[in-house]
Structure 1
Amino acid sequence: MSADVKAMSFEDALRELEQVVGKLERGEVPLDDSIALYERGAKLKKRCEAKLKEAEEKVAKLTLDGDGQPTGTEPLDG
């Protein structure tokens, strides 16, 4: 759990967030450690939200013109 959240991929951050939530729900850690886990979870959640927003913006840019009108489809790797 020492990886820098800011450098994590969406998938890695989500995977760790699920682990944090699981530990907190099961009460596997002492109260003091729970606080640190909760803080880590909040950072992971924020990272996931930011990565999702980035992806949404890329999709919108690829499929809409400057006026917000659909431009059709084209391969993402093109």
Structure 2
Amino acid sequence: MNKKLRDFIIVFVIIPLSLSSLIWVHFLTNYMDWKHIKEEYHIQEGYWEFFGRNWYKKGFQIEVDYLREYKEKQEKAAE
């Protein structure tokens, strides 16, 4: 492989892919977190409303927020 072709591949293929992976990995992990809580909680009352209000949030803390809100709704309903 000649030097020009190698440099072209490095500059226009390898570097952009590695930089864009820094962005896409966050979208992928967020999607996996949301998918996980959907599989566990989608049958519970209020999940879809919660998802509609919080679709933009990061998945890092989302399960904790959902469970807290669900517990508060259950306590209000019990009163």
The TM-score with structure 2 as length reference comes to: 0.36
The TM-score with structure 1 as length reference comes to: 0.37
Rg: which structure is higher? 2
Judging by fraction of residues, say which structure has more helix.
Answer: 2
